[in-house]
Amino acid sequence: MYPERVFSGMRPTGSLHLGHYHGVLKNWTVLQSKYPCFFCVVDWHALTTHYETPGVIEKNVWEVFIDWLAAGIDPNQATLFIQSKVPEHSELALLIGMSTPLSWLERVPTYKEQMEKLKERDLSTYGFLGYPVLMAADILLYRAIHVPVGEDQVPHLEMTRQIARRFNRLYSSDSIVEEKSYQVAKKLGKKHARLYFALRHSYQEQGDGEALAQAHSILLESNSLSIRDREFLFSYLEVARKRILVEPKALLTSASRMPGLDGQKMSKSYGNTIGLREAKSSIVQKIRTMQTDPARVQLKDPGDPEKCKVWQLHQVYCNESTREWVKVGCKTAGIGCLDCKQPVIDGILREQQPMLERAQKYMDDPSLLRDIVDDGCEKARKSAKEVMQDVRDAMGLKYS
Of residues 160-219, those binding ligand TRP (CB under 6 A): none
What would the x/- binding string for ligand TRP be over residues 134 to 163, using CB under 6 A? -x--xx-------x-x---x--x-------
Contacts of 69 (CB under 8 A, 6+ apart): 75, 358, 359, 362, 369, 372
Contact 298, 44 (CB under 8 A): no
Q: Does 93 bind ligand TRP (CB under 6 A)?
A: no
| Closer to ligand TRP by Cβ: residue 127 or 336 | 127
d(CA 204, CA 237): 8
> Could you tell me how far CA 368 lies from the centroid of its own chain?
27
* Shortest Å, Cβ 256 to ligand TRP: 16
| Closer to ligand TRP by Cβ: residue 130 or 305 | 130
d(CA 161, CA 245): 9
| Closer to ligand TRP by Cβ: residue 49 or 168 | 49
CA–CA distance from 237 to each of 162, 185, 220, 229 (Å)? 18, 11, 14, 13
| Closer to ligand TRP by Cβ: residue 9 or 260 | 9
* Shortest Å, Cβ 139 to ligand TRP: 5
Binder among 5, 6, 11, 293 for ligand TRP (CB under 6 A) = 11
d(CA 179, CA 221): 23
The CA-to-CA distance between both ends of the chain, in Å, stands at 27
From the list 195, 127, 138, the residue with the least C-alpha distance to 163 is 138
Contact 134, 93 (CB under 8 A): yes
Pairing of β 5-10 and β 144-149: parallel
d(CA 223, CA 370): 69
| Closer to ligand TRP by Cβ: residue 45 or 358 | 45
From the list 58, 64, 51, 84, the residue with the least C-alpha distance to 16 is 64
Binder among 5, 6, 8, 358 for ligand TRP (CB under 6 A) = 8
* Shortest Å, Cβ 134 to ligand TRP: 7
What would the x/- binding string for ligand TRP be over residues 26 to 65, using CB under 6 A? ----------------x--x--------------------
| Closer to ligand TRP by Cβ: residue 160 or 204 | 160
Q: What DSSP string describes 134-165?
A: HHHHHHHTTTEEEEEE-GGGHHHHHHHHHHHH
* Shortest Å, Cβ 89 to ligand TRP: 9
> Interface residues with ligand TRP (CB under 6 A)?
7-9, 11, 42, 45, 135, 138-139, 147, 149, 153, 156
